[in-house]
DNA sequence: TATTATAGTTACTTTTAGTAACTCAAAAGT
DNA sequence: ACTTTTGAGTTACTAAAAGTAACTATAATA
């Protein structure tokens, strides 16, 4: 069995770049792509952040806090978060039903990352928006 | 003109959460959602990271370094990055054409964030994958 | 008996991502 | 002279994902 990946290669070398891709793309399990793709829809990050600001919230409370989200989209979002172990879902068997959502420790550890990225996004959004405008002008 | 957003509210209070959403969701310009949605397709992050590892690269060099990417997808990815001001595109008017891509300072400042998030993703992927398996079992 | 509340589903439409095959213009091979 | 190669794309299409609107269940309440 030949080991070719993750071998130390000179920094910035073509070999080092190739190793990155052997490790990430070719093995077909690139965690960052996987995770970012889960975070980057229209509602997931908002949901994590509001859950991060509270201990626990009920379905309808969350829904009221996210203007514009539909019931289906909130369900889908929360289920995906639960599936990934970022959120717990606790059902109290009452009628009308009562379901509480809460971030897991794993979920809470991600909130920090999201806030950092959020800061970067907020700081640089102006440049990005200006860049997009210039790009449109350049095309015409 | 009434100012209701970004006013200091007690930490963890419902009011604080509402402010977050007034500022981000309702104003219809949430930078983090915007930016993450640009990053989270199948190729963008990889492209940024390999550009981060080099000074500059030609179209075909990048293509060779990302196994499986099609020409169209690489074009789309690079154009979006250019549009957002994360990458510069320099055309040398020759035949056959020669086009070089390079991260801008803005792009380079993002690479750091991506590596941090990448670390988090790598560290926690195991838990997430296990969680997904458990979730499937729970459903059956 | 009709209405409200909570937490969803189901069936559908729109949008986005991705693929495969084609283009252009010059240079080099045969 | 004609065919092939090269680099950097387009075009036209298909598959997949995201999102919407309308419906459901069950008990309590008016």
Query: Which nucleotides along chain C are within 7 A of a protein C-beta?
Result: 5-11, 17-22, 25-27
Q: Output DSSP code: residue B24.
A: I
Q: How far is CA B33 from the centre of its chain?
A: 10
The two three-digit tokens of residue A95, written as one number: 């009628």
| A46 with B25: Cβ contact below 8 A | yes
Q: How confident is the model at residue B14 (pLDDT cuts 50, 70, 90)?
A: low
Cβ contacts of B113 on chain A, cutoff 8 Å: 116-117, 120
**Residue B36: which of A20, A45, A66 has the nearest Cβ?**
A45
Beta-bridge mates of residue B98: B92
Mean pLDDT over A19-23 rounds to 60
The larger pLDDT score, comparing residue B50 to residue A13, is at B50
Backbone torsions φ then ψ of B3, nearest 5 degrees: -100, 115
Residue B5 has pLDDT above 70, yes or no: no
Cβ contacts of A4 on chain B, cutoff 8 Å: none
Average pLDDT of the residues of chain B: 85
| A106 with B127: Cβ contact below 8 A | yes
Query: Tell me: the pLDDT tens digits for B69-111?
Result: 999 999 999 999 999 999 999 999 999 999 999 999 999 999 9
The two three-digit tokens of residue B92, written as one number: 């040398």
Element (H, E) at A121: helix A105-139
Mean pLDDT over A5-32 rounds to 59
**Residues B73, B63 contacting (CB under 8 angstroms):** no
Residues of chain B with pLDDT > 90, as a percent, come to 61
Give the distance, in angstroms, between residue B37 CA and nucleotide C9 C1'.
27
Give the distance, in angstroms, between residue A59 CA and nucleotide C7 C1'.
7
Lowest mean pLDDT among A78-87, A120-129, B9-18, B98-107: B9-18
Q: Interhelix angle for B105-139 vs A31-39, to 10°?
A: 80
A136 CB inside 7 Å of strand D: no
| A32 with B67: Cβ contact below 8 A | no
How far B53 CA lies from chain A's nearest CA (Å)?
A: 5
């Amino acid at each position: 069995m030949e080991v070719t990946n993750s071998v130390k290669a000179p920094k910035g070398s073509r070999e080092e770049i190739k190793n990155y891709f052997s490790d990430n793309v070719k093995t077909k399990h690139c965690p960052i792509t996987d995770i970012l793709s889960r975070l980057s829809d229209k509602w997931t990050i908002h949901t994590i952040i509001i859950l991060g600001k509270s201990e626990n919230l009920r379905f309808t409370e969350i829904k009221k806090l996210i203007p514009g989200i539909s019931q289906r989209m909130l369900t889908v979002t929360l289920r995906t978060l639960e599936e990934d172990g970022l959120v717990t879902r606790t059902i109290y068997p009452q009628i009308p039903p009562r379901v509480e959502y809460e971030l897991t420790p794993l979920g809470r550890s991600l909130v920090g990352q999201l806030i950092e990225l959020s800061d970067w996004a907020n700081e640089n959004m102006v440049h990005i928006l200006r860049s997009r405008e210039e790009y449109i002008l350049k095309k015409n």
